[in-house]
């Protein structure tokens, strides 16, 4: 059941990233790291649909975390990359070739191999206040560094760094979620007496804000590669620090884990620099591929049925302007 819940959450996350990217991708460049980015997004129906899916994904993930360990649930969320490539290729008709599929598979299989060889075990479920504080400070520092790195550089780099910052926040939020769900299972009223609930709300909102900046900053494949891959890795470290989960580090497990990580990062790098990336944001590439997700959603909806003549040109109505978003027929 834990695996099914995690896979469902990964699919919801992939749809969330696409819909929310459609809501913020054409926002002014000056909106980066400003509240105006969110206030403008809240006026778009497609972004709100993505937000609803994000809430559903969070609830599904919370149930999975309650019944399973962080080292089990979080890595399965990497399948979001595969869902993302599949949706972009079939629904929005981006050109997805062998490079994107191989890169996505390498990234997912590399992380899966790392988890298999590391074989995380143990889960005390009762971290001390000092451990929480030190872990939280480490995550906050890493997030700050990623945000600073995101302020300069090409679009794919900025998207990846904002994505990494959001991923660190989401990983810490997952740890808080696990603790809160344990309190709810014992006595749901008691959760209001624990600071983890309020930290969960704050970290969750901050992580969502960073994710929106990642979607806004550049290509969705770059931001998602960072969000999907950094999250489980940080979750493993948090699981070791907070819940005393253990990893195998002796021979031959250590070298095999290192090889798996190399494969994973190779796949992520190839995906982040693929033609799919440049086509999503329209930074490079042929004019036929130089379309944003929002522009492609219009084109997909307006495609004539096979065998029919093109109708006289009329103002196109985007699904973002009120028409329902539907896959190509």
Characterize 161-193 residue by residue with b for buried, 16 or more Cβ atoms within 10 angstroms of its Cβ, and e for exposed: bbbbbbbbbbbbbbbbbbbbbbbeeeeeeebee
At 296, the pLDDT band (50, 70, 90 cuts) reads low
Q: Looking at residue 292, what is its pLDDT?
A: 55
* pTM, rounded to two decimals: 0.71
Report pLDDT digits (tens) over 70-127. Answer: 777 877 877 777 787 788 777 777 777 888 888 888 888 888 888 788 887 766 667 8
DSSP 288: G
Share of the chain above pLDDT 70, in %: 81
3, 136, 186, 214, 270 from 100: Cα distances, Å = 25, 35, 45, 20, 8
In-domain check, residue 324: no
**How large is the average pLDDT for residues 136-163?**
93
Task: Residue 254: give the domain boundaries.
Answer: 2-293
In-domain check, residue 196: yes
In-domain check, residue 249: yes
Short-list 299, 290, 63, 260, CA closest to 181: 63
Q: Looking at residue 161, what is its pLDDT?
A: 94
Report pLDDT digits (tens) over 232-253. Answer: 889 888 988 888 777 888 889 9
Peptide bond connecting 186 to the previous residue in cis, omega within 30 degrees of 0: no
In-domain check, residue 301: no
Q: Count of residues for the chain? A: 329
For the chain, the distance separating the N- and C-terminal CA atoms, rounded to the nearest angstrom, is 34
Sign of the dihedral defined by the CA atoms of residues 97, 294, 82, 114, in that order: positive
Query: From CA 33, how far away is CA 38, in angstroms rounded?
Result: 10
Q: In 287-327, which ranges are continuous DSSP H helix?
A: 293-302
In-domain check, residue 60: yes
3-state secondary structure of 153: coil
Q: Looking at residue 207, what is its pLDDT?
A: 93
DSSP 313: P
Into how many domains does the chain fold?
Answer: 1
In-domain check, residue 305: no
Instruction: Give me the chain's average pLDDT, please.
Output: 78
In-domain check, residue 309: no
Q: Looking at residue 284, what is its pLDDT?
A: 42
**How large is the average pLDDT for residues 58-74?**
81
Higher local confidence (pLDDT), 200 or 30:
200
In-domain check, residue 326: no
**238 and 135 in contact (C-beta within 8 Å)?**
yes
């Amino acid at each position: 059941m834990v695996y099914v819940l995690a896979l469902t959450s990964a699919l919801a996350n992939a749809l969330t990233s696409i819909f929310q990217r459609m809501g913020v991708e054409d926002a002014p460049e000056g909106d980066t790291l400003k509240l105006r980015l969110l206030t403008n997004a809240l006026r778009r129906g497609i972004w709100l649909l993505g937000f609803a899916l994000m809430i559903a994904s969070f609830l599904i993930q919370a149930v999975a975390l309650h019944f399973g360990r962080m080292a089990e649930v979080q890595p399965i969320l990497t399948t979001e990359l595969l869902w993302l490539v599949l949706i972009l290729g079939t629904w929005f008709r981006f050109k997805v070739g062998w490079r994107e599929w191989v890169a996505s598979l390498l990234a997912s299989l590399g992380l899966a191999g790392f988890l298999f060889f590391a074989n995380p075990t143990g889960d005390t479920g009762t971290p001390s206040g000092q451990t929480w504080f030190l872990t939280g400070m480490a995550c906050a520092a890493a997030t700050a560094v990623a945000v600073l790195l995101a302020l300069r550089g090409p679009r794919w780099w900025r998207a990846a760094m904002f994505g990494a910052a959001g991923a660190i926040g989401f990983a810490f939020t997952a740890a808080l979620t696990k603790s809160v769900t344990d309190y709810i299972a014992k006595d749901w009223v008691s959760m209001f007496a624990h600071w983890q609930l309020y930290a969960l709300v704050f970290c969750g909102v901050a992580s969502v804000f960073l994710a929106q900046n990642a979607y806004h900053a550049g290509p969705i494949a770059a931001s998602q590669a960072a969000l999907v891959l950094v999250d489980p890795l940080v979750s493993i470290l948090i699981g070791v620090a907070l819940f005393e989960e253990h990893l195998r580090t002796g021979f031959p497990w250590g070298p095999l884990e290192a090889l798996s990580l190399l494969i994973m990062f190779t796949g992520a790098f190839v995906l982040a620099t693929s033609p799919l990336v440049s086509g999503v944001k329209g930074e490079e590439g042929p004019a036929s591929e130089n379309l944003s997700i929002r522009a492609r959603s219009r084109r997909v909806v307006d495609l004539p049925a096979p065998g029919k003549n093109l109708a006289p040109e009329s103002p196109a109505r985007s699904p973002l302007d009120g028409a329902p978003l539907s896959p190509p027929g």
